Amino acid sequence: MERWVLLRKGADFEAIGRQFHVSPRTACLIRNREVIGEAAIDRYLNGTIGDLYDGMLMKGMDQAVDILGEKIRNQERIRVIGDYDIDGVNAAYILVEGIETLGGIVDSDIPDRIRDGYGLNIELVDRAYREGIDTIVTCDNGIAAADEIAYGKSLGMTVIVTDHHEVPYDEEDGKRHYLLPEADALIDPKQPGCEYPFKGLCGAAIAYKLVEALCEAMGRDADELDYLLENAAIATVGDVMDLNEENRIIVKEGLEMLGRTHNLGLRALMECTKVEKERLRAYHIGFILGPCMNASGRLDTAKRALGLLRAKDKKEADVLAQDLKALNDSRKDMTEAAVEQARELVETTPAGEDKVLVIYLPGCHESLAGIVAGRIRERYYRPVFVLTDGEEGLKGSGRSIDAYHMFEELSRCKELLTRYGGHRLAAGLSLKRENMEKLRRMLNEGCTLTEEDLTEKVVIDMELPFSCVTEGFVKELSLLEPFGKGNTKPVFAARNVELLGGRVLGKNQNVLKLRARDGAGTVIDAMCFQQMEGLLDMLKERYGKAAVEDMLLGRRSGMRISLTFYPDLNEYMGRITPQIVITHYK
């Protein structure tokens, strides 16, 4: 079930449109994204690298810059320790490239997902010590590694943490006591006392801020490292950060750079996945390039993805890119099987009736738990934890809905967990097998989600007559890109739309093309990609199988629906025709 909600936010859209040279409708869409005031609108539409905040505003940045500057000048050995996902890999690449460019002796290490688990661990510290490393710099991890950092310090090593995850805490009498590691320098905008204006950066963006600040402190032109912004953009989209404020600028500017990138590995990956550089969007990172980079950390080693970014010749880049694509193809097949198994458990076992789903999939590769949790969350719109067998006990990942703060809820159950961490909408955890049922009960007994919270909300920007779907309007909508979490594609709606005819298209017969007429009499092509079977099933239930067959043969069927859509352009043999893409229906 869905709740359709029409946004009604007020402003002088005519005046905003005149000032920023956009239509009043586009001005309304900007207001709907809570972009308010002249300065904020200008930054939203026209923000550039020059509008990014100074990284020196981050707590701990000055100490990190001083320490790294001294280590580089003294030629001490520095090791960057990242994480095995797209954010950790790109963050590690940014730090290694930046420190190397500034003359530092630097290498990298990334934990093995199965053997090491998430983030810094004792083995990684020991390995660095045995190999004569003086300084460890973490990225996209470290904030929860107090014991491991203390161990590194006891060996006489210097440790710098750069992270963006929530700070662990104890709670007593309603007061939180934050548990910060005793690192030589600690950079995380979410730590207490950090006055950096934007808290939503990913690990790679924080790494970028560090190398930029370091570059300036060492008397070099920070423009030398501007190209690394494309990696911060890849990580921002791939780690599903909100595309607002600074993140919007990072991704917008980074996508432009990526379209003309000199990175041999990224060029090879775009070639083998058939992503056209001139048509590059955030979508291509999120659903094509990003999953390939993540696949190496899931099914092999993330060092392969880092190797792709560091490739020094085209032959090496092409081989690594093909390897990552092949790994991702395998990952897709394994994911489909695990999702089907999880769906069956939800629909056939008592635990499937819980508000918070805890699903145990013993045969699922542990690296796929988060993807499976996300797919089940989409299908049933409930918080989901998927647990699999780890080397010691169970390991798992969770994906949440807007009304459920996953990290905080896990924190209330921490006595049952051996390790956990994450954000509001995603988390990772480890626990003993005997605690699984206790965790399920505890999460659900403390759950305050209401039926309304568990009903997916479709937020509609405005009702839009089909006559307004023009080439000019579609092109103007591109001013609002990049789209993604926190800056979603606009959602338009039309009521009482008559279906004049339709046909099933595509190599796999999985696309429905309809001729649709709105209440004002305008006829337009309406494409249905993802939900074709669901839409046809709804029409059969409402109007009967014969009426649907008539409609697919082009006969008048009298069928009417309400739908939400996004305006689009169909380009065929040099001819451009406006059309709509259906996103929801009822």
How many other C-beta atoms lie within 10 A of the C-beta of residue 9?
A: 12
Give a yes or no: residue 320 inside a domain.
Answer: no
Q: Are strands 511-517 and 523-528 parallel, antiparallel or unpaired?
A: antiparallel
505 & 380 share domain: no
Q: Cβ(71)–Cβ(205) under 8 Å? A: no
User: Which strand (E) or helix (H) includes residue 333?
Assistant: helix 314-348
Distance CA 539, CA 548 (A): 7
List C-alpha distances in Å: 333 to 292, 330, 346: 14, 5, 20
Distance CA 339, CA 357 (A): 14
358 & 444 share domain: yes
> How many domains does the chain contain in total?
3
Token couple for 354:
């819980």
372 & 513 share domain: no
Give a yes or no: residue 555 inside a domain.
Answer: yes
216 & 75 share domain: yes
Distance CA 81, CA 214 (A): 18
How many other C-beta atoms lie within 10 A of the C-beta of residue 351?
A: 16
Distance CA 235, CA 82 (A): 13
Give a yes or no: residue 14 inside a domain.
Answer: no
List C-alpha distances in Å: 366 to 274, 324, 337, 375, 463: 29, 18, 14, 15, 44
Q: What is the DSSP letter of 288?
A: I
The last residue of a domain, from among 400, 429, 454: 454
Distance CA 532, CA 493 (A): 18
104 & 214 share domain: yes
Token couple for 64:
């990190």
463 & 408 share domain: no
Strands (E) located in 346-391: 357-360, 384-389
**SS3 at position 217:** helix
Distance CA 291, CA 274 (A): 14
Helices (H) and strands (E) in the chain, counts: 21, 20
Distance CA 351, CA 404 (A): 18
Query: pTM for this structure?
Result: 0.90
Give a yes or no: residue 164 inside a domain.
Answer: yes
List C-alpha distances in Å: 194 to 3, 55, 56, 569: 38, 12, 11, 45
139 & 158 share domain: yes
Name the amino acid, one letter, at 182: E
Name the amino acid, one letter, at 584: H
Give a yes or no: residue 537 inside a domain.
Answer: yes
200 & 131 share domain: yes
Burial 70-89 (b: 16+ CB within 10 A, else e): ebbeeebebbbbbbbbbbbb
472 & 380 share domain: no
Give a yes or no: residue 190 inside a domain.
Answer: yes
Q: Cβ(42)–Cβ(497) under 8 Å? A: no
The last residue of a domain, from among 454, 481, 512: 454
Name the amino acid, one letter, at 482: P
Token couple for 319:
């081989």
- Kindly report the CATH number assigned to the domain that includes residue 572: 2.40.50.460
- Kindly report the CATH number assigned to the domain that includes residue 426: 3.10.310.30
- Residues in the chain, how many? 586
324-424-192 Cα angle (round to 5): 110
Nearest to 99 by CA among 119, 115, 76, 120: 76
The gap between the terminal CA atoms of the chain, to the nearest Å, is: 10
Q: Cβ(21)–Cβ(474) under 8 Å? A: no
Q: Are strands 456-460 and 426-431 parallel, antiparallel or unpaired?
A: unpaired
434 & 501 share domain: no
User: Which strand (E) or helix (H) includes residue 100?
Assistant: helix 86-101
Give a yes or no: residue 288 inside a domain.
Answer: no
444 & 461 share domain: no
Q: Which residues, 6+ apart, have CB-to-CB distance to 449 below 8 Å?
A: 355, 356, 383, 403, 404
428 & 501 share domain: no
Rounded to 10 deg, the angle between the 86-101 and 290-299 helix axes is: 100
SS (H, E, C) 436-487: HHHHHHHHHHCCCCCCCCCCEEEEECEECCHHHCCHHHHHHHHHHCCCECCE
The last residue of a domain, from among 401, 420, 454: 454
577, β-bridge pairs: 570
List the pLDDT tens digit at each of the 586 positions of the chain. Answer: 789 999 989 999 999 999 999 999 999 999 999 999 999 999 999 999 999 999 999 999 999 999 999 999 999 999 999 999 999 999 999 999 999 999 999 999 999 887 777 789 999 999 999 999 999 999 999 999 999 999 999 999 999 999 999 898 888 888 889 999 999 999 999 999 999 999 999 999 999 999 999 999 999 999 999 999 999 999 999 998 999 999 999 999 999 999 999 999 999 999 999 999 989 999 999 999 999 999 998 888 899 999 999 999 999 999 999 999 999 999 999 999 999 999 999 999 998 999 999 999 998 998 899 999 999 999 999 999 999 998 789 999 999 999 999 999 999 999 999 988 887 888 999 999 999 999 999 999 999 999 999 999 999 999 999 999 999 999 999 999 999 999 999 999 999 999 999 999 877 888 999 999 999 999 999 999 988 989 999 999 999 999 999 889 877 778 999 999 999 999 888 899 999 999 999 9
Q: Cβ(502)–Cβ(487) under 8 Å? A: no
Tell me the residue range of the domain where 416 lies: 349-454
List own/partner pairs for 31-38 with CB under 8 A and 24 or more apart: 32/7, 32/461, 32/490, 33/244, 33/480, 33/487, 36/11
Question: Residue 554 has what pLDDT?
Answer: 79
Give a yes or no: residue 18 inside a domain.
Answer: no
Q: Cβ(233)–Cβ(248) under 8 Å? A: no
Token couple for 330:
């395998």
